Chains A and B, each alone.
Chain A
Amino acid sequence: MSAAVLEVEGLVVDYGGVRALDGVDLTVAPGEVVGLIGPNGAGKTTLLDGVCGLVRGHGGRVVVAGEDVTGLAPHRAAARGVARSFQRTSLVADLDVMANLLLGRHRHLGAGFLDGLLGRRRLRDEEDRHRARCVAVAEHVGVGGYLAVPARVLPFGVRKRVELARALAAEPRLLLLDEPTAGLAPEEADAVVAIVRDVAGGGGPAVVVVDHDLRVVAGMTDRVVALDHGRVVATGPAAAVAAHPALASTYLGPTLPGGGPRGAREPAPGEGPP
């Protein structure tokens, strides 16, 4: 048995005749942070959906921590330690941040969560323990001051972080992040990069992250996998992969005389066309 947290073999997904994923292979080691890049429609989000079970594949296998989860309902994949964030920041608007984080911990909550109210000591202690975990995650992500605030009134940057915190609150084996920095200011994005690095480095989950910002991807990941038309076209360090001919027009733009690369906000040194 291999030690990989995630093994995807030949995953195929069709959307009504359109082949969104065409035989994708992906292996992620424990503690590794892998970036997924590629043009719009390349299949990045579909790959996350296929791994967590939101989309059922038409071929191939998905193995999480040695256990075959292919075709499993998403809540069963979640129970095996797969957590994800959504690009559209999906928080329950009526609930405060604490309740949204507890929702992320659903798989850990005992059926007797209610009984804490009725004064049964053991269960109240258990509830306190879950709340304490959520407080710790919120503080780590920098939203500790918002725990009692309803999600509907949070500013956008905070919503993005709470979305990340909710996925982390699950204490997953495998964390799937769909554009965790989209729409954030550069310094907010840097904070998210530092959090993800910190989490993965400290014996936390393996991470697969989709992001359009090459600077973010380069800062956050150990390795980048480029998708185009549902196939893996390149894999390796971010800068090298982004220079792949199939992606150059997406991430770098046509190189103009005297002009720098386009697409990345602030290219890191060494990034960009050779």
Chain B
Amino acid sequence: MTELARLVVEGVALGGAYGLVALGFVVIAKATGVVNFAQGTFLALGAYLTYNGAVTWGLWFPLAAALAVAASAGAGAGLERLVVRRLAARPPHAAIMATIGVAVAGDQVITMVWGFDHHPIGDPWGASSLRLGGVSVATVDVAVLAVTVVVVAAGAVFFARSRLGLAMRARAADGELAVACGIPVHAVDALAWALGAGLAALAGVLLAAGTATARPDLGLAALRAFPAVILAGFASVPGALVGGLVVGLVEVLTAGYAPVHAPWLGVNVHQVAPYAVMLVVLWLRPAGLFTASPARRW
């Protein structure tokens, strides 16, 4: 039982980080109709820049993380401004292919700059653990959950209540309407990319914290969070979070139980399991869990 409780806490924390990654995908896709395959690069960038700030320069960890997230957000806005906007008149797959190119190049740049070593990012949690109701959980998991809850709550207020949040929702629904209402759509697009890249970078910091370290394969976490985006149907903000939690729990529970109860599945089945869940969901509900299926006409 305590084993299950420990795995659930770990899975929920991992799922929270995945939820932030998925949210980043959704914010960008909703605003500009582009799936940004370079999210993994921003994710890794957030972790490595935090390592530089906190370890190399000795900054206070939250400040280093905030600077890293802000720098990644700036890179996201730059990608929108310099690449995506220029392709806006083309079909969306042109911009999507461009983001794949940026991801490939970006990952090379990251290994050029930071090499193949694993860098602890200087977070205060390390390998320490807490006892919660008789269950020992990693401090970093609690910290990840707390950060996720705060960010999601702030995001919900932003989108529901602020002038800019309203502008972003209008832009996502209908760009022509938004611009006719006086909303500077180009600025809103750049902001959406900055937010999306910033969310990925923040998730990167959380995923590299504790004993995980900033490492060359960190960016792959964006692909592991991808089933969460599919579950959310690319459009739903709460869906991205729930999808993230599902993916995190499935991954951790499979990693915890499959080797004992079903060793014939192999040692890396936990990396495949979220995709299996995604395929089942797509088979049953092709539009995703959180979006209405459009009526079929034929």
Contacts and interface: CB of A to CB of B under 8 A. Distances in A.
Interface stretch (B103-111, B134-142, B170-178): B170-178
B26 to A, nearest CB: 14
Interface stretch (B57-65, B182-190, B203-211, B248-256): B182-190
A191 interface: no
B180 A106 contact: no
B181 A95 contact: no
A166 B180 CA distance: 11
B179 interface: yes
Interface in A101-136: 102-104, 106-107, 109-111, 113-114, 116-117
Contact of B166 (A86, A99, A117): A99
Interface stretch (B31-39, B156-164, B218-226): B156-164
A90 interface: yes
Contacts of B179: 54, 73-75, 78
B169 A90 contact: no
B167 interface: yes
Nearest to B158: A114
A93 interface: yes
A92 interface: yes
Nearest to B184: A75
A107 B182 contact: yes
Contacts of A84: 180
Nearest to B163: A113
Nearest to A176: B180
A52 interface: yes
A137 interface: no
A86 B176 CA distance: 10
Interface in B96-132: none
Interface string A43-64: 0000000001010000000000
A153 interface: no
Contacts of A91: 177
Contacts of B182: 75, 78-79, 106-107, 170
B183 A106 contact: yes
Contacts of A52: 180
A104 B183 CA distance: 10
B163 A90 contact: no
Most buried by A among B164, B166, B180: B180
Given A92-B174, A103-B170, A111 B163 contact: yes
Contact of A117 (B157, B167, B178): B157
Given A92-B169, A109-B163, A113-B161, A103 B184 contact: no
A94 interface: yes
A117 B161 contact: yes
Contacts of A102: 166
Contacts of A103: 166-167, 170, 178, 181
B145 to A, nearest CB: 24
A230 to B, nearest CB: 21
Which of B167, B169, B177, B183 has its CB near the most chain A CB atoms (within 10 A)? Answer: B177
B292 to A, nearest CB: 10
Contact of B169 (A73, A79, A95, A104): A95
Q: Which of A74, A75, A104 has the most CB of B within 10 A?
A: A75
Contact of A93 (B165, B173, B183, B185): B173
Contact of A54 (B173, B180, B184): B180
Interface in A201-238: none
B161 A114 contact: yes
A94 B173 contact: yes
Contact of A114 (B157, B173, B174): B157
A84 B176 CA distance: 11
A201 to B, nearest CB: 25
A120 B246 CA distance: 39
A54 B176 contact: yes
B180 A114 contact: no
Contacts of A117: 157, 161
Contacts of B185: 75
Contact of A78 (B158, B165, B180): B180
8 closest A-B pairs by beta carbon, nearest first, are A78-B182, A114-B162, A113-B163, A107-B182, A90-B177, A92-B173, A74-B179, A109-B163
28 contacts: A52-B180, A54-B176, A54-B179, A74-B179, A75-B181, A75-B182, A78-B181, A79-B182, A83-B180, A83-B181, A91-B177, A92-B169, A95-B166, A95-B169, A103-B170, A103-B181, A106-B163, A106-B167, A106-B181, A106-B182, A109-B163, A113-B161, A113-B162, A113-B163, A113-B166, A114-B163, A117-B157, A117-B161
Given A52-B180, A106-B163, 19 more contacts: A73-B184, A74-B179, A75-B181, A75-B183, A78-B180, A90-B174, A93-B173, A103-B181, A106-B167, A106-B182, A111-B164, A113-B162, A113-B166, A114-B157, A114-B161, A114-B162, A114-B163, A114-B164, A117-B157
